[in-house]
Amino acid sequence: MTYQFRAAQRSQAKPLIGLYSESGAGKTYSALVLARGFVGPEGRIGMIETESGRGEAYADPAEYPEIGGYEVLPLRENFSPKDYGEAITAAEKAELDALIIDSASHEWEGAGGVLSLAAANQEAGKKGPIVWQQPKLLHQRHFMLRFMQTSIPLVILCMRAKYPMREVPDRNGKKQWIRSDQLDPKQADDILFEMFVHGWIDRDTHRFHMTKCTAKALEPVFNGDKPISLETGQALAKWAAGGAAPMSKAAGNGHARDPFDDAKAAAEQGVEAFRAWWAQQSKTVRAAVNNRRAELKTIAEAADAGADDVPDDPFADEDADTLAEDAATEGADLFNGEPQSAADKDEAEYLKNIASGLRATTTAESLATYRQQQESNMNLLSETGQAEAHAMFDVREGELG
């Protein structure tokens, strides 16, 4: 193959839009009117529909003339990355003008999805990072790369969202778990990185709250003054074709700064400076950088430690076994179970495996089943180890409600 540079063209910057919210906020309707505005009255809209038919609620053109009808490809029973990839291929063969994936969350947490594949590996006796290796490869190959590289002009991902549990100190400094006030989409942690524009939809007002916009000219298009509409899609289409997107009154004459730029600048001053910056931010700004907190934490800690302590090669001093052990330990720490304090190495390794298994549980029922399966093994642990294991299960139970 011969490689050759060409002049950059805006028309090659295909919009990937991510919409996430709680149930009933209007993800599906917003995606449909956005797509209709983008493709025009004669354009073809297709939907990969996983919501047991709820995605077809707006199919009647007489009831919803602003949408004007659309096509669906239902996915039922199995929501593996491969199934999604084949559905995207079918959409390409149909030569759709816009594709809506409603919902992308099933690929991650549905039957046959990534979490299910990881759980199956765990049940088969696999341990540590191996549990996740193949499921994540399938996720990247058949889902992420497929919708990122598709020839379809517009792709919209609808995702369910939740308020995750987070650990905070109480007045006495004791750690406690509370419900976060920030929505997180139910998908892989890095899914939003690939979106051209993403944001959450308010359940009460159905307004779209943008948390990322790659192109400054699109910021006034996806403003928070009103819900997504046909006009939003029309403005997006004009921009994608190389024209100038209209400036809204709410946006003024300037362009909003990427919240992550401000967050990074604060983190570069150290941990305490970043905490002070965070405390002053609105919920919208916090939500915009929420999925990159680990990166910001690394930047802040590196600033406190000094640049000389940060190696040029992040893996220079690590072998494969050490990296795998660190990954497993990190998974355990997420559930407040710190196996380093267990009685011996075997017990610590078992607690790491418990943490990996907990991450694969997605419902209260699957958690209860997993706890029952591990009960006899946990009884063989030391008193400290048993306390840690039960604490991890209790934390996961709180997250799943």
pLDDT tens for residues 342-394? 345 667 777 777 887 787 788 887 888 888 878 777 777 777 777 778 888 88
Residue 329 confidence (pLDDT)? 46
Q: For 52-106, what is each residue's pLDDT tens digit?
A: 999 999 999 999 999 999 999 999 989 999 999 999 999 999 999 999 999 999 9
Residue 245 included in any domain = no
> How long a stretch of residues is the chain?
401
Residues 268 and 331 occupy one common structural domain: no
**Tokens linked to 356:** 């990996």
Half-sphere exposure of 198 (CA within 13 A, CB side): 23
Residue 273 included in any domain = yes
Residue 315 included in any domain = no
Residue 207 included in any domain = yes
Residue 149 included in any domain = yes
**Tokens linked to 115:** 């979490």
Residues 350 and 304 occupy one common structural domain: no
Tokens 């330990």 correspond to: 329
Residues 208 and 282 occupy one common structural domain: no
Angle between helices 345-360 and 114-123 (to 10 degrees): 150
Task: For residue 94, give the DSSP letter.
Answer: T
Residue 209 included in any domain = yes
Range of the domain at 266: 259-309
**Domains of the chain: total:** 3
Q: Look up residue 241 and give its amino acid.
A: A
Is the distance from CB of 158 to CB of 102 less than 8 angstroms?
A: yes
The model carries a pTM of: 0.60
Which of 267, 284, 309 terminates a domain? The answer is: 309
Residues 167 and 225 occupy one common structural domain: yes
Which of 183, 211, 240 terminates a domain? The answer is: 240
Is the distance from CB of 160 to CB of 103 less than 8 angstroms?
A: yes
197-201 vs 16-21, strand pairing mode: parallel
Residues 80 and 46 occupy one common structural domain: yes
Weakly modelled stretches of the chain, pLDDT under 50:
247-257, 307-311, 313-343
How many helices (H) and strands (E) would you count in the chain? 15, 10
Residues 167 and 210 occupy one common structural domain: yes
Residues 349 and 278 occupy one common structural domain: no
Residues 86 and 212 occupy one common structural domain: yes
Centroid of chain to Cα 128: 22
Q: What is d(CA 210, CA 288) in angstroms, rounded to the nearest whole number?
A: 8
Residues 29 and 157 occupy one common structural domain: yes
Which of 240, 275, 292 terminates a domain? The answer is: 240
Residues 186 and 332 occupy one common structural domain: no
